[in-house]
Amino acid sequence: MEICSMPVHILSDKIKNRELSSVEITRAVIDRIKKIDPKIQSYITVVEDEALKKSREIQNDIDAGKFLSPIGGIPVAVKDNICTRGIPTTCASKMLSNFIPPYDATVIKKLKEQKAIIAGKLNMDEFAMGGSTENSFFKKTKNPWNTSCVPGGSSGGAAASVAAGLIPFALGSDTGGSIRQPASFCGVVGLKPTYGAVSRYGLVAFASSLDQIGPLTKNVTDCAVVMNAIAGYDKMDSTSANIEYPDYTGFLTNNIKGMKIGVPKEYMTKGINEDVRKALENAAGVLESLGAECEEMSLQYTEYSIPAYYLISSAEASSNLARYDGVKYGYRASRYTDLIDLYRKTRSEGFGEEVKRRIMLGTYALSSGYYDAYYKKALQVRTIIMDDFNRAFDNYDAVIGPTAPTTAYKIGEKIDNPIEMYLGDIFTASVNIAGLPAVSVPCGFDGENMPIGMQIIAKPFDEGTLIKIGYAFEQNTDFANKYPELD
């Protein structure tokens, strides 16, 4: 197995056994980025010199017998809305194209403390608004399985880089499916943790009550390893949960006998691709063959998740993005007559079309006379959706369904039809609305050999159940061992 095809836990073992050095792994990753990424366009920034320098420092520590964490000496890339000290953090926007943070996000501090090596920053939809990574100011990322298709979004660069062997693991952010949907489209594992389980300090805000940082990895074992590294309480994040977090690798048991799993009938409707439906039915059959009980049930308010999500997220985006005014940092219009003209021209020139669309929608929903009719109503629907899930988890250990209603579509196919693209979040947005954990694991391929993902949802702070079910499924199928041919 080539270095760039190896998952994190294998690389970690080889470093500890002196079969590979951190320098060899980092050099292999950098070389592959140079060779393959021009086809994929997943990176905005690559920090080659710094990564190689850090790998030499870490290898010296390893040779001296110092403690090495399970991710020590292994390169990682992060979505470009996670602040990295001294490395540009652009949010794939003209507005922040010159922004270099003076501090690290908490997740970056944790990675560095455990001696992971930051290799670069990954492309995304501008300010995480989009489902295809076509809304980036810099470039359009391509799906490694078919470069004429989108990788999903907004963490499309993260999913594509892991799938293409351009990085062993990546961090993305998920506001309404932005880790799980690209994970499904690219055939990798993507976990959206419980809201509050991973610090958001240093994550550039899109919708603060929905955003969550999480890992994208080659398999479920790596997902557990990375969650151990990034989960935990952070006093710098007021929404961080001060609870005891488990060792997630302890759930890698390959035993799901007696577990009860719900399959919402609303997730298997006419609107989903037939290949996706069959893959999910087959996946449920695999879980049943392993001793779990899969039963049809109902999440009756699923259809309201999209309107509620887009009202809440757009309202919060309108508020959060008000700070980009050309005064403090970021892009500033070169010509203006007064302060109001500075604001107008800076925001008109600095933001892309999708960001402007959502700011306008959110501002409208929050405006006098419309707040009660739209935003307040969306918050009430949010409570109903949360109650719907709570009732489900009274009877089931987990809920499964498709991650997305389709597989990856062609680049440009939906970019002029935002409503159709928004509907792609139908199975993922409700998870963010309810603050739940969910993971997408590969579960099949369609007739065009494009990956299909199964979403597993659990109750709050029960990531262990996701890992347990996902690992058992993965160990008894071969989907996680398939890679796109790019060389």
Starting at the earlier edge strand, list the strands of the sheet with 189-192.
Answer: 43-46, 117-122, 75-79, 169-174, 212-217, 189-192, 438-445, 451-457, 398-402, 260-264, 293-297
Q: 118 has which bridge partners?
A: 76
Pairwise CA distance, residues 218 & 483, whole Å? 10
Pairwise CA distance, residues 294 & 297, whole Å? 9
Known active-site residue 79: yes
Amino acid letter, residue 74: I
First to last CA, the chain: 14
| CA 248 to centroid of chain Cα atoms | 18
Q: Residue 310 corresponds to which tokens in the numbers above? A: 């887009």
8 A C-beta contact, residue 452 and residue 433: no
For 117, the enclosing helix (H) or strand (E) is: strand 117-122
Q: How many Cβ atoms are within 10 Å of 10's Cβ, its own excluded?
A: 19
Q: Of the listed 173, 178, 305, 440, which one is catalytic?
A: 178
Amino acid letter, residue 197: A
Q: Of the listed 154, 305, 313, 430, which one is catalytic?
A: 154
Q: Of the listed 12, 21, 55, 79, which one is catalytic?
A: 79
Q: Would you say the C-alpha torsion 172, 143, 268, 379 has a positive or negative sign? A: positive
Instruction: State the Rg of the chain over Cα.
Output: 21
DSSP-derived letter for residue 250 is G
Known active-site residue 110: no
- Phi-psi region for residue 459, left (φ > 0), alpha (ψ -120 to 50) or beta? beta
Known active-site residue 154: yes
For 9, the enclosing helix (H) or strand (E) is: helix 8-16
Q: Residue 32 corresponds to which tokens in the numbers above? A: 């592959």
Pairwise CA distance, residues 194 & 170, whole Å? 18
The catalytic residues are: 79, 154, 178
